[in-house]
A = this chain, B = another copy of it.
């Protein structure tokens, strides 16, 4: 058991205030995958590391690339540089990456024996490199900015573990839940237990907020989603309320329809990530201000001209409207081919256009 650290006083606490739906001078802004391939300085560190996994498992380099976007842009949060598949790797599946094709496992889950034999890893043992990175980043950030820790949702991790990598049709993962639901629940329970330990350990190591990515919940029909994804998101949110008290949780359900956002809002999470297909006014109506909302510019807009980016930012801000529970972000991860100058345009537009929707006095920055 690891206890959450005492609350930190941060010079820029916009993110934590917005996640608690408390007054802010403007919407905080950060970017999913902000430490990534669109930055030339990232590509240099990645090349020096030799491989993506070598970069992930090297706390010094993971810290360095985590800090890079903060130096370029006026962002309001750092997010740990890591990968959602560190957990299955720590469970023994043997993660590796094929250039241009994404993640693979040496030992995907192909039978009941492999699932029942899966260990729940101790994060300070098999995932110490992640926690060392969190501690290092926390020290480097000082009292300036909050640090977000993260993990993949049980269902999302299960799809990769059962398929052996990325998938388009999710045939193996869906056959598991439809034909062997008991076994599917065994796998999802183990993943949930591992994720609670992992996220609580990230909070203990210095993460100020936590985010769970349910990237593939949207490929399930809503009834299956409720049984095989939502139920475990709720279980993790409730466990973290005890294991990491005071550390807000953001749930990102990519592809979630408004009805599903309403269900996610009742899990105990502080905030929901919203992809770009649900306008924030619709999302806000669906969730009735029970949670903060994070999002949701279409990442492809960052390929457009500065004037178009500014208009699109203005519309996202107007869609959320007046109130304090909005964290500006993209609706999905930033694409590697984006020009970093366009990111500056977006961030500056948020800084300039957001205050009109807030009524609190400016906070020191």
Measuring CB to CB, which residues of chain A are less than 8 angstroms from any residue of chain B? Answer: 169-171, 174-175, 178-179, 218-224, 255, 257-259, 276-279, 282, 298-301, 303-305, 308, 312, 315, 331, 335, 337
Contact = CB atoms under 8 A, between A and B. Distances in A.
Contacts of A259: 258, 282
Contacts of A169: 299-300, 335
Contacts of A305: 178-179
B223 A277 contact: no
Contacts of A337: 171
A303 B169 CA distance: 11
A223 B279 contact: yes
Nearest to A316: B221
Given A218-B277, A221-B276, 16 more contacts: A169-B300, A169-B335, A171-B303, A171-B337, A174-B300, A174-B303, A178-B301, A178-B312, A179-B305, A220-B277, A220-B298, A221-B277, A221-B279, A222-B277, A223-B279, A258-B258
B178 A300 contact: yes
A221 B178 CA distance: 32
A292 to B, nearest CB: 20
A222 B171 CA distance: 29
Contacts of A304: 174-175, 178-179
Contact of A279 (B170, B222, B331): B222
8 contacts: A169-B335, A170-B300, A171-B335, A174-B301, A178-B300, A179-B303, A218-B277, A222-B277
